[in-house]
Structure 1
Amino acid sequence: MSAASYAGAGISVLSGLTLTDVGIIVGIATAVLTFIANMVYQRRKYRMDRELHELQKRALQERLGE
């Protein structure tokens, strides 16, 4: 199939959407992107907290002479 066929099909689908449909699609996309961003943030925060804990543990062990 040619690119024109895909473009025509895409335009016909998009022209059939109501404002409510567009709102639902945008809402779902926003929710998915927010979920992904939160997962990335939580993973980075967990990694930083783990590194901080290890540094604090080492400092305490050095202070206690272990």
Structure 2
Amino acid sequence: MAKTNPVQFVQQVRAEVSKISWPTRREVLLTTVMVFIMAAITALFFALVDILIRTGLQGLLGMFG
């Protein structure tokens, strides 16, 4: 494994960081809002599925129980 002195390492890190395409504040805000919206929709979906399964099982067990 090649050894790199600390100065070269910092130079290489700075060169790599300068290549990164950083998102704008607007892009970060939009994607954050979209994540929260999708999380809420997913939670609502699974809550409804849970209610339907619970109701179905209670009806089924009530018929045969």
TM range (shorter): 0.5 to 0.7
Which 5+ residue runs of structure 2 have no aligned equivalent? Answer: 1-20
Give the TM-score taking structure 2 as reference length. Answer: 0.61
Rg bigger for which structure? 2
Match of 1:46 in 2: 47
Deviating runs (4+, > 4 A) in structure 1? Answer: none
What is the CA-CA distance between 1:63 and the residue it aligns to?
1.3
Which 5+ residue runs of structure 1 have no aligned equivalent? Answer: 1-18
How many pairs does the alignment contain? 45
In 2: Cα distance, 1:26 partner to 1:37 partner? 16
Give the TM-score taking structure 1 as reference length. Answer: 0.60
Aligned positions of 1:1-66 closer than 5 A: 23-64=24-65
Match of 1:12 in 2: none
Percent of aligned pairs sharing the same letter:
13
Which one has a larger percent helix, Structure 1 or Structure 2?
A: 1
